[in-house]
Amino acid sequence: MRFAELVSLFGELEGTSKRLEIRQALSDFLAKVEPAELPAVIYLLQGQLRPEYEGVELGVADSLARKALALATGLPEGTVRQHGSRSGDLGDTAESLWGEGKKLASPPLEVKEVYDRLTRVAEAKGEGSQEVKVDLLRDLLTSARATEAKYLVRLVLGRLRLGVKEMSLVDALAAAFAPEEGFKEARAAVEAAFNVTSDLGEVASRLATQGLPGLAGVQAQVGKPVRAMLAEREATLKDALDRMGGTAALEYKYDGLRLQAHFSGAQGGPVKLFSRRLEDVSAQFPEILEAIPSSLQKGPAIVEGECVPVDPVTGELRPFQEISRRRGRKYELTRFQEEVPVRLVLFDVLLAPEGPTMDRPYPDRRARLEDLVGVTERIDLAAREVVRDLGSAEAFFLRALSDGCEGVMVKSLATGSTYRAGARGFWWIKYKREYTHELADTVDTVVVGAFRGRGRRAGRYGALLVAAYDAEREVFPTLCKVGTGFDDRALKDLTRRLSPHELKEPPRDVVSTLVPDVWLEPSLVLELRGAELTLSPVHRAGDGLLRAGYGFALRFPRFTGRIREDKSPEEATEVKELLRLYQTQVRHAEAETGEGLPEGGKAPRNEKGTPPDGTESP
Ligand code: ATP
């Protein structure tokens, strides 16, 4: 396939933010692509070369792209730089520098060729690699037409930003390759296969070559992270137990970092650790890498658990924050290993040496996990008890708290309690200490904008505009403005991390009526606590779910100090969860006062006193 055809799809996608139009354009296009080229097309549409968990990066900085552009156009680098800073987008610069009349001697670019060459750019590492990258890029650009050059430059800089979400590709693949009448079923199969492999390229290729039956056999594979099964909430332990029919397994809810460990089985062979965000975080936890083979003995195996910091002397659990200090510390790891050793507390098994286990009910998986795991200083099993009455559940919950956990996970023992990759459901219910006061839980929000600080905060951001995620519409609607809970250092640090994501225009997938001083591309997820959720005419999260023209807003929000590095923007709290939180809050209010909140929540109170966006002033 010609690269120009893909580029024309890029243009079409850029011109719309409507999900249905995006899906239609994608599915029409994917149906035309040769199966062999499909994975490359799928990755390129996401601005990638490989599935995200492989972490393949093109490693091209602006300066390098400018150099390649100068060489390809024959213009001085200074001219390219000047033009680039005027337009603010090197892609646009490339397109306009090409001009109308650039004569190309070379034949039109093919998708495969572009993909292979970009792969070589990504693979160039170490000494002399910058020159190699420039040369490769220059050659590629020399063969490109103007619009191709624009998108090539954006691709290599990691700024394609077509707004193609994974779930749009799932929809489009199902629509392109499944029979008309079977869309729903096909979509479920495509999503299920994606949840198990986290690799849309592989799913697309199977679908194109073997049709839907090709997806049926997709199993968890060592080396490919499985998307995490997620939990629902209930307002009280009684509600949780009732929902499970009176009997359930309770496990300690450890407060750490969720990790999936992949073990091939070979002693001394590779072990991989994936975060909940599907990043390969193996390098951060050498002691766990070392401990897995001796604990499991046999492979292949995929086990899942929570990685928690422990006290080096007493072995007791330490606060979660201590683990986050390890992130990105390549060089000081040895010191951190001594100061903040970690333990992986396992709670599930997705692949056992005897075969896949995801389709087995939870009691069966737990039994296999217990068989498989040898408890060591570094590897443990989640504390667990099967309870049949509320009294035992409460006693277990209190034990969990006094052992340093944040609550319990209530797990279904039913035959349907299989491991549901990527799904949130009532097979697991979380119940935390916080549920007894204030807003029943923290919320994880994406930063989408910032307000400049004044006074002591001058020169950095003073408050942030944050959003929830609306999975149906694939947008980030705002939830509140937050300026509390940050000390000066945190604000400075956040400003440093966020400012490279500043945008001139509002991001296409952000829904906001407030206009911040700067817009930010959704990238960072912050945990917030608030007094309550209210209905607000200003914020757009869950717009119209309860009342036309009103969204949810978090009242008196404050940053808990926890950056959810383990969550991607799309894993921020969803508007559906906000609805449940709101309902939980109503139930608590009913329990305390004997009556519910006024219809429409606390919006009237908002209108009188507090700012409508539910914030305290910073
Ligand atoms: P989400 O519900 O989206 O995961 P979250 O990460 O904010 O949001 P948590 O309140 O942290 O939700 O609860 C779910 C998380 O609890 C799991 O993802 C896992 O990391 C952790 N966890 C701790 N102990 C267990 C356990 N025994 N079983 C399952 N998960 C556990």
- Percent helix / strand / coil, the chain, rounded to 5: 40, 20, 40
Give CA–CA dist 267/292, Å, rounded. Answer: 10
Q: What is the pLDDT, as a whole number, of residue 107?
A: 85
Ligand 1 geometric centre to CA of 255 (Å): 8
Question: Which regions of the chain are under pLDDT 70?
Answer: 100-105, 180-181, 325-333, 434-440, 587-618
For 431, the enclosing helix (H) or strand (E) is: strand 424-432
List the residue whose alpha carbon is closest to atom 9 of ligand 1: 430
3-state secondary structure of 411: strand
Catalytic residue among 253, 430, 432, 602: 253
CA distance 159 to 180: 35
Tell me the CA–centroid distance for residue 340 and ligand 1, in Å.
21
Residue whose token pair is 């400003």: 495
HEC profile for 458-483? CCCEEEEEEECEECCCCEEEEEEEEC
CA distance 55 to 69: 26
Residue 10, both tokens: 């890029």
Polymer length of the chain: 618
Best residue among 306, 308, 435 to mutate for probing ligand 1's pocket (most ligand atoms within 8 Å of CB) is: 306
| CA 227 / ligand 1 centre spacing (Å) | 13
Which pLDDT score is estimated for 436? 55
pLDDT the model gives residue 444 = 96
Within 10 Å of residue 492's Cβ, how many Cβ atoms?
A: 16
- What sign has the CA pseudo-torsion 178, 181, 185, 187? positive
pLDDT for res 596: 42
Are 49 and 58 in contact, with CB atoms under 8 Å apart?
Answer: yes
Q: Whose CA is nearest to atom 24 of ligand 1?
A: 253
Amino acid, res. 177: F
- The reported pLDDT for the residue numbered 225 is 98
Burial 21-55 (b: 16+ CB within 10 A, else e): ebbbbbbebbeebeeebbbbbbbbbbbbbbbbbee
Task: Measure the CA–CA gap between 155 and 497, rounded to whole angstroms.
Answer: 22
Which domains does the chain possess? Answer: 48-157 (1.10.3260.10), 230-432 (3.30.470.30), 443-601 (2.40.50.140)
Q: Compute, in angstroms, the gap from residue 230 CA to the centroid of ligand 1.
A: 7
Kindly tell me the sign of the dihedral angle through the C-alpha atoms of 211, 215, 217, 223.
positive
| CA separation for the pair 448, 199 (Å, rounded) | 27
pLDDT digits (tens, 9 = 90+) for 406-450: 899 999 999 999 999 999 999 999 998 766 555 667 899 999 999
Rg over CA atoms, the chain: 26
Q: Which atom of ligand 1 is nearest to the CA of 384?
A: 27
Measured by CA distance, the residue closest to atom 1 of ligand 1 is 230
**DSSP states of 164-202:** --HHHHHHHHHHHHS-GGGHHHHHHHHHHHHHHH--HHH
pTM of the model: 0.80
User: How confident is the model over 377-390, as pLDDT tens digits?
Assistant: 999 999 999 999 99
CA dihedral sign, ordered 260, 185, 426, 250? negative
How far is the centre of ligand 1, averaged over its atoms, from the C-alpha of 260 (Å)?
13
Nearest residue (by CA) to ligand 1, atom 4, is 230
The pLDDT, as a whole number, for residue 4 is 95
Q: 501 C-alpha to center of ligand 1: Å?
A: 28
Query: Annotated catalytic, 18?
Result: no
Q: Which of 347, 411, 581 to mutate to test the pocket of ligand 1 (most atoms within 8 A of CB)?
A: 347
pLDDT at 595: 47
pLDDT in tens, 233-247: 988 899 999 999 999
Question: Distance between CA atoms of 243 and 413, rounded to whole angstroms?
Answer: 12
Enumerate residues lining ligand 1, CB below 6 A: 228, 230-231, 251-254, 258, 276, 306, 347, 382, 409, 430, 444
